[in-house]
Structure 1
Amino acid sequence: MADADLDAVIRQLAKQQNKAILSAAKKRRDRFNGMAVKAKDKDAKERFKMLAREAVEQANAAARRLLISADNVADSYARAMRQAAAAELPKAPEKKAEKKDEAAPAKAAKKPVKKAATKAGAKSKKAG
Protein backbone atom coordinates (compact mmCIF):
# COMPACT_ATOMS: atom_id res chain seq x y z
CA MET A 1 0.00 0.00 0.00
CA ALA A 2 3.07 2.22 0.17
CA ASP A 3 3.04 2.56 -3.61
CA ALA A 4 -0.71 3.31 -3.75
CA ASP A 5 -1.83 6.87 -4.32
CA LEU A 6 -3.55 8.41 -1.35
CA ASP A 7 -6.56 9.47 -3.40
CA ALA A 8 -7.25 5.82 -4.31
CA VAL A 9 -6.92 4.86 -0.65
CA ILE A 10 -9.39 7.60 0.34
CA ARG A 11 -11.92 6.35 -2.18
CA GLN A 12 -11.45 2.74 -1.07
CA LEU A 13 -11.99 3.61 2.59
CA ALA A 14 -15.10 5.61 1.72
CA LYS A 15 -16.53 2.61 -0.13
CA GLN A 16 -15.89 0.41 2.90
CA GLN A 17 -17.57 2.93 5.21
CA ASN A 18 -20.45 3.24 2.76
CA LYS A 19 -21.01 -0.51 2.86
CA ALA A 20 -20.90 -0.46 6.66
CA ILE A 21 -23.49 2.34 6.83
CA LEU A 22 -25.85 0.58 4.43
CA SER A 23 -25.42 -2.73 6.25
CA ALA A 24 -26.26 -1.11 9.58
CA ALA A 25 -29.28 0.58 8.00
CA LYS A 26 -30.57 -2.74 6.69
CA LYS A 27 -30.20 -4.30 10.14
CA ARG A 28 -32.09 -1.42 11.71
CA ARG A 29 -34.79 -1.61 9.01
CA ASP A 30 -35.21 -5.34 9.64
CA ARG A 31 -35.43 -4.70 13.37
CA PHE A 32 -38.16 -2.09 12.93
CA ASN A 33 -40.03 -4.32 10.46
CA GLY A 34 -39.84 -7.17 12.99
CA MET A 35 -41.25 -4.88 15.65
CA ALA A 36 -44.02 -3.86 13.24
CA VAL A 37 -44.97 -7.51 12.74
CA LYS A 38 -45.12 -8.05 16.51
CA ALA A 39 -47.09 -4.87 17.16
CA LYS A 40 -50.64 -5.44 18.33
CA ASP A 41 -52.41 -2.32 17.08
CA LYS A 42 -52.50 -0.71 13.66
CA ASP A 43 -50.93 2.62 14.76
CA ALA A 44 -47.88 0.89 16.21
CA LYS A 45 -47.42 -1.15 13.02
CA GLU A 46 -47.56 1.99 10.89
CA ARG A 47 -45.14 3.81 13.22
CA PHE A 48 -42.55 1.00 13.05
CA LYS A 49 -42.88 0.72 9.27
CA MET A 50 -42.40 4.48 9.00
CA LEU A 51 -39.32 4.26 11.25
CA ALA A 52 -37.93 1.50 9.04
CA ARG A 53 -38.40 3.63 5.89
CA GLU A 54 -36.88 6.70 7.57
CA ALA A 55 -33.87 4.74 8.82
CA VAL A 56 -33.06 3.52 5.31
CA GLU A 57 -33.67 6.94 3.80
CA GLN A 58 -31.43 8.70 6.33
CA ALA A 59 -28.70 6.08 5.93
CA ASN A 60 -28.78 6.44 2.14
CA ALA A 61 -28.44 10.20 2.47
CA ALA A 62 -25.52 9.83 4.89
CA ALA A 63 -23.80 7.31 2.62
CA ARG A 64 -24.27 9.59 -0.38
CA ARG A 65 -22.79 12.56 1.52
CA LEU A 66 -19.89 10.40 2.64
CA LEU A 67 -19.07 9.33 -0.92
CA ILE A 68 -19.35 12.87 -2.25
CA SER A 69 -17.07 14.19 0.50
CA ALA A 70 -14.55 11.42 -0.07
CA ASP A 71 -14.56 12.06 -3.83
CA ASN A 72 -14.02 15.77 -3.23
CA VAL A 73 -11.14 15.10 -0.85
CA ALA A 74 -9.54 12.55 -3.17
CA ASP A 75 -9.87 14.88 -6.17
CA SER A 76 -8.46 17.78 -4.17
CA TYR A 77 -5.50 15.68 -3.03
CA ALA A 78 -4.80 14.42 -6.55
CA ARG A 79 -4.98 17.98 -7.91
CA ALA A 80 -2.62 19.24 -5.21
CA MET A 81 -0.12 16.50 -5.97
CA ARG A 82 -0.27 17.26 -9.71
CA GLN A 83 0.30 20.95 -9.00
CA ALA A 84 3.17 20.18 -6.65
CA ALA A 85 4.77 17.90 -9.23
CA ALA A 86 4.35 20.54 -11.92
CA ALA A 87 5.84 23.19 -9.65
CA GLU A 88 8.86 20.99 -8.90
CA LEU A 89 9.81 20.45 -12.54
CA PRO A 90 10.55 24.08 -13.51
CA LYS A 91 12.57 24.69 -10.34
CA ALA A 92 15.46 22.50 -11.51
CA PRO A 93 16.31 24.68 -14.57
CA GLU A 94 15.86 27.86 -12.51
CA LYS A 95 18.60 26.73 -10.12
CA LYS A 96 21.04 26.62 -13.01
CA ALA A 97 20.00 30.11 -14.02
CA GLU A 98 20.45 31.31 -10.45
CA LYS A 99 24.03 30.03 -10.42
CA LYS A 100 24.74 32.08 -13.53
CA ASP A 101 23.12 35.13 -11.92
CA GLU A 102 25.23 34.68 -8.79
CA ALA A 103 28.42 34.58 -10.84
CA ALA A 104 27.53 37.78 -12.70
CA PRO A 105 27.21 39.99 -9.58
CA ALA A 106 30.57 38.73 -8.36
CA LYS A 107 32.18 39.94 -11.58
CA ALA A 108 30.20 43.16 -11.43
CA ALA A 109 31.39 43.73 -7.89
CA LYS A 110 34.98 43.52 -9.07
CA LYS A 111 34.46 46.09 -11.83
CA PRO A 112 33.37 48.95 -9.57
CA VAL A 113 36.37 48.31 -7.38
CA LYS A 114 38.63 48.81 -10.40
CA LYS A 115 36.75 51.92 -11.44
CA ALA A 116 36.93 53.31 -7.93
CA ALA A 117 40.67 52.70 -7.90
CA THR A 118 40.96 54.40 -11.27
CA LYS A 119 38.97 57.43 -10.10
CA ALA A 120 41.02 57.64 -6.93
CA GLY A 121 44.19 57.55 -9.02
CA ALA A 122 42.80 60.22 -11.35
CA LYS A 123 41.99 62.50 -8.42
CA SER A 124 45.47 62.07 -6.99
CA LYS A 125 47.01 62.95 -10.38
CA LYS A 126 44.82 66.08 -10.66
CA ALA A 127 45.73 67.10 -7.14
CA GLY A 128 49.46 66.65 -7.84
Structure 2
Amino acid sequence: MADADLDALIRQLAKQQNKALTAAVKKRRDRAIALAAKAKDAESKQRQRQLAKDILEIGTATVKRLQMSADNAAYSYARSVRQAIDAAAAKKAVASAKPAKKTAKKASKKEAKKATRKAKG
Protein backbone atom coordinates (compact mmCIF):
# COMPACT_ATOMS: atom_id res chain seq x y z
CA MET A 1 0.00 0.00 0.00
CA ALA A 2 3.07 2.21 0.09
CA ASP A 3 2.80 2.98 -3.61
CA ALA A 4 -0.97 3.58 -3.48
CA ASP A 5 -2.17 6.99 -4.54
CA LEU A 6 -3.13 8.96 -1.49
CA ASP A 7 -6.18 10.44 -3.21
CA ALA A 8 -7.59 6.93 -3.66
CA LEU A 9 -6.74 6.18 -0.03
CA ILE A 10 -8.54 9.33 1.09
CA ARG A 11 -11.65 8.29 -0.84
CA GLN A 12 -11.49 4.75 0.55
CA LEU A 13 -11.23 5.93 4.15
CA ALA A 14 -14.09 8.37 3.62
CA LYS A 15 -16.21 5.54 2.24
CA GLN A 16 -15.53 3.48 5.37
CA GLN A 17 -16.40 6.43 7.60
CA ASN A 18 -19.59 7.03 5.65
CA LYS A 19 -20.67 3.42 6.11
CA ALA A 20 -20.03 3.61 9.85
CA LEU A 21 -21.82 6.95 10.15
CA THR A 22 -24.80 5.70 8.12
CA ALA A 23 -25.08 2.64 10.35
CA ALA A 24 -24.99 4.82 13.47
CA VAL A 25 -27.69 7.12 12.06
CA LYS A 26 -29.93 4.16 11.23
CA LYS A 27 -29.37 2.68 14.68
CA ARG A 28 -30.32 5.96 16.34
CA ARG A 29 -33.39 6.30 14.08
CA ASP A 30 -34.46 2.75 14.95
CA ARG A 31 -34.16 3.57 18.64
CA ALA A 32 -36.43 6.58 18.21
CA ILE A 33 -38.94 4.44 16.31
CA ALA A 34 -38.84 1.85 19.11
CA LEU A 35 -39.51 4.60 21.65
CA ALA A 36 -42.44 5.77 19.52
CA ALA A 37 -43.87 2.26 19.56
CA LYS A 38 -43.60 2.13 23.36
CA ALA A 39 -45.13 5.58 23.84
CA LYS A 40 -48.37 5.63 25.82
CA ASP A 41 -50.04 8.75 24.38
CA ALA A 42 -50.42 9.92 20.78
CA GLU A 43 -48.50 13.17 21.31
CA SER A 44 -45.28 11.52 22.49
CA LYS A 45 -45.66 8.86 19.78
CA GLN A 46 -45.87 11.57 17.11
CA ARG A 47 -42.93 13.45 18.67
CA GLN A 48 -40.72 10.32 18.59
CA ARG A 49 -41.68 9.58 14.98
CA GLN A 50 -40.82 13.14 13.97
CA LEU A 51 -37.55 12.86 15.86
CA ALA A 52 -36.75 9.66 13.94
CA LYS A 53 -37.41 11.44 10.62
CA ASP A 54 -35.25 14.40 11.65
CA ILE A 55 -32.42 12.11 12.79
CA LEU A 56 -32.40 10.35 9.42
CA GLU A 57 -32.56 13.62 7.46
CA ILE A 58 -29.78 15.32 9.41
CA GLY A 59 -27.63 12.18 9.43
CA THR A 60 -27.86 11.66 5.66
CA ALA A 61 -27.03 15.34 5.09
CA THR A 62 -23.98 14.93 7.32
CA VAL A 63 -22.89 11.83 5.40
CA LYS A 64 -23.21 13.70 2.10
CA ARG A 65 -21.17 16.64 3.41
CA LEU A 66 -18.48 14.30 4.69
CA GLN A 67 -18.30 12.53 1.33
CA MET A 68 -18.13 15.83 -0.54
CA SER A 69 -15.39 17.07 1.77
CA ALA A 70 -13.37 13.89 1.24
CA ASP A 71 -13.81 14.12 -2.54
CA ASN A 72 -12.63 17.72 -2.48
CA ALA A 73 -9.60 16.83 -0.35
CA ALA A 74 -8.69 13.90 -2.61
CA TYR A 75 -9.07 16.00 -5.75
CA SER A 76 -7.05 18.84 -4.24
CA TYR A 77 -4.27 16.44 -3.25
CA ALA A 78 -4.16 14.84 -6.71
CA ARG A 79 -4.10 18.27 -8.37
CA SER A 80 -1.27 19.44 -6.10
CA VAL A 81 0.77 16.34 -6.89
CA ARG A 82 0.24 16.83 -10.63
CA GLN A 83 1.32 20.47 -10.33
CA ALA A 84 4.42 19.47 -8.34
CA ILE A 85 5.35 16.88 -10.97
CA ASP A 86 4.84 19.42 -13.76
CA ALA A 87 6.93 22.00 -11.90
CA ALA A 88 9.73 19.48 -11.35
CA ALA A 89 9.65 18.51 -15.04
CA ALA A 90 9.76 22.16 -16.08
CA LYS A 91 12.67 22.85 -13.71
CA LYS A 92 14.52 19.85 -15.09
CA ALA A 93 13.89 20.98 -18.67
CA VAL A 94 15.19 24.47 -17.87
CA ALA A 95 18.23 23.04 -16.08
CA SER A 96 19.08 20.77 -19.00
CA ALA A 97 18.60 23.61 -21.50
CA LYS A 98 20.97 26.01 -19.70
CA PRO A 99 24.16 23.94 -20.05
CA ALA A 100 23.52 23.51 -23.76
CA LYS A 101 23.41 27.29 -24.17
CA LYS A 102 26.60 27.70 -22.15
CA THR A 103 28.48 25.13 -24.21
CA ALA A 104 27.28 26.79 -27.39
CA LYS A 105 28.60 30.14 -26.14
CA LYS A 106 31.93 28.56 -25.13
CA ALA A 107 32.24 26.87 -28.52
CA SER A 108 31.57 30.15 -30.35
CA LYS A 109 34.20 31.93 -28.19
CA LYS A 110 36.75 29.22 -28.96
CA GLU A 111 36.01 29.52 -32.68
CA ALA A 112 36.39 33.29 -32.50
CA LYS A 113 39.78 32.92 -30.78
CA LYS A 114 40.94 30.44 -33.43
CA ALA A 115 39.82 32.74 -36.21
CA THR A 116 41.73 35.68 -34.70
CA ARG A 117 44.85 33.54 -34.28
CA LYS A 118 44.68 32.39 -37.88
CA ALA A 119 44.21 35.96 -39.04
CA LYS A 120 47.26 37.12 -37.06
CA GLY A 121 49.47 34.23 -37.77
Q: How does 1:1-128 map to 2 (within 5 A)?
A: 1-99=1-99
| Count of aligned positions | 107
Structure 2, unpaired ranges of 5+: 110-121
How far did 1:81 drift? 0.8
How far did 1:59 drift? 0.5
**In terms of mean alpha carbon deviation, does 59-68 or 95-104 score higher?**
95-104
Structure 1, unpaired ranges of 5+: 109-128
Q: Which has the larger radius of gyration?
A: 1
**4+ long deviations beyond 6 Å:** none
TM-score (norm 1): 0.76
For 1:70-109, what per-residue CA distance to the aligned partner results, in whole angstroms no more than 9, with x for missing partners? 111111111111111111112223113333566769xx9x
Q: Distance in 1 between matches of 2:30 and 2:96?
A: 69
TM-score (norm 2): 0.80
Q: Distance in 2 between matches of 1:67 and 1:79?
A: 18
